Amino acid sequence: MGLSPERTVAELRELQELTGDENGAQRVAWTETWERARQWLREKVVSTGADEEIDQAGNQWFTLPGASERALLLGGHIDSVPNGGWLDGCLNVLAAVEVLRRIAEDGTPPLTVRLVNWADEEGARFGRSLFGSSAAAGSMSDQDELRERRDADGIALPDALAEHGVGLDRALEARGQLDSAAAYLELHIEQGPVLESLDLPLGVVLGTFGVERHQVTFRGQAAHAGSTPMDQRRDALAGAAKLELEIREVAKRVGGGAVCTMGGVVTKPGIVTSVVETAECLLDQRHLDATWLAEMLSNAEAASRRFAHEEGIEVEWEKIWSIEPIPFDDRLLDLADESVREVAGSSHRLPSGPLHDAAEVARAGIPTVMLFVQSLRGLSHTKLEDTKEEHLELAVQALDRLTTKALEAFA
Ligand SMILES: [Zn+2]
């Protein structure tokens, strides 16, 4: 019967029907709805004869044995944010199911093929993204902190995981799952506007952005809004305002896809009758190249000191979080380009702003690549998330081609 991309689209609709409501997808990890989605997936895979295993971090694996025990991995996540879209995460799971069916029909593949449905990619309930993939990649190092995390109802993370048979302390044992991995492929919706603006259905992902996140605090002096002359103010918000405009110039200067965002500014005392004493800014900077990312950070730091000096205020930087850029595998990038060109005519390489499970796998040293399919209006994490059906079908075909090429190349 061969590959049936229309079936993938039909199954995506079926999953949406089963686990969504009028507000969107509700497959939040470590909930009953999520478990229902995993059960549904299990039933979909049965016909391929693949063996199922749930690892110590809750990742769901389906293994189709090949001539070699070394494995080509196809990954995705069936969990969603609350009120999420119908494609984020589950597209790659269901496209991979279709590819698995095709391979099972064709006979024994040269490499073992494994579909992994990563546990809790979104981190929607406990604020910890990439749970299952970071455990498997061996990069999870925040267990002590995770033990203390609670959801909005006050339920502790370890208790919620235990309900699904996962022990936080043992999660890192999932690491063994990547021992036999030869390569990792992931198809995802773009969740941004680039491919649509280029009028291209598909693109090849160069890697995931490195991220530098800081809290930048400007400190001046609270003073009466009526009695303090303009030239005698130490206005913390003036520093923040100058910095917000400057980071746009920094991103422009550095280029290469650089993005800088001041996502929030909290001012104190924050009343209409006082000059601002402290302005706490949240700054997020991203680039695919580590050197340029460092350059952006030092540019922003230098600018903030200059503005502090100009305004007679102080500035202090505190790191919130950072991650290095994670470039994907050159050989797989070429194979992905070929695959996309074969099904869609032309290809385009682009970086990924959001992090994905693929980044964790790549960090673990496994050759990795991702395909993006166009997102309409760039929207995601909302029920408005959408992709044309014909593009979804091309995406399934491209993943299938890429899988075939990777099976040959890594055998
Ligand atoms: Zn996703």
Ligand 1: centre distance to CA 77 (Å): 7
Ligand 1: centre distance to CA 408 (Å): 28
Ligand 1: centre distance to CA 147 (Å): 24
Q: Please say if the pLDDT value at position 401 is more than 90.
A: yes
Ligand 1: centre distance to CA 68 (Å): 30
- Taking the mean position of all CA atoms in its chain, how far away is CA 102? 28
Query: Please, which pLDDT band fits residue 149 given cuts at 50, 70 and 90?
Result: very high
Report if pTM > 0.85: yes
112 neighbors 65 (Cβ within 8 angstroms) = yes
Cα atoms in the Cβ-side hemisphere of radius 13 Å centred on 139 = 19
Q: Which two tokens stand for residue 383?
A: 């029920």
Residues 304-337 as b or e (16 or more Cβ within 10 Å = b): beebbeebebbbeeeeeeebebbbbbeebbebbb
Query: Please, which pLDDT band fits residue 125 given cuts at 50, 70 and 90?
Result: very high
- Residues 156-173 pLDDT 10s: 999 999 999 999 999 999
> Among residues 405, 340, 399, 400, which one has the least CA distance to residue 105?
400
Q: Please say if the pLDDT value at position 127 is more than 80.
A: yes
Ligand 1: centre distance to CA 40 (Å): 19
Q: Is the peptide bond before 367 cis (omega within 30 degrees of 0)?
A: no
Ligand 1: centre distance to CA 306 (Å): 40
**pLDDT at residue 322 in the model:** 87
Residues with CB under 5 A from ligand 1 (ion): 88-89
Mean pLDDT for 332-356 is 95
Q: Please say if the pLDDT value at position 1 is more than 80.
A: no
> Among residues 257, 168, 262, which one has the least CA distance to residue 217?
262
Ligand 1: centre distance to CA 314 (Å): 40
- Residues 158-215 pLDDT 10s: 999 999 999 999 999 999 999 999 999 999 999 999 999 999 999 999 999 999 999 9
Ligand 1: centre distance to CA 356 (Å): 6
Mean pLDDT for 245-254 is 97
Q: Please say if the pLDDT value at position 321 is more than 90.
A: no
Ligand 1: centre distance to CA 309 (Å): 43
Ligand 1: centre distance to CA 246 (Å): 32
Ligand 1: centre distance to CA 81 (Å): 9
- The rounded distance, in Å, linking the Cα atoms of 74 and 56 is 19
Ligand 1: centre distance to CA 361 (Å): 14
- The rounded distance, in Å, linking the Cα atoms of 218 and 233 is 14
Summary mean pLDDT of the chain: 96
**pLDDT at residue 353 in the model:** 84
- Residues 23-72 pLDDT 10s: 999 999 999 999 999 999 999 999 999 999 999 999 999 999 999 999 99
Ligand 1: centre distance to CA 223 (Å): 47
Percent of the chain with pLDDT over 90: 94
**pLDDT at residue 220 in the model:** 98
Ligand 1: centre distance to CA 342 (Å): 25
395 neighbors 202 (Cβ within 8 angstroms) = yes
120 neighbors 30 (Cβ within 8 angstroms) = yes
- Taking the mean position of all CA atoms in its chain, how far away is CA 384? 19
Q: Is the model more confident about 251 or about 353?
A: 251
Ligand 1: centre distance to CA 121 (Å): 7
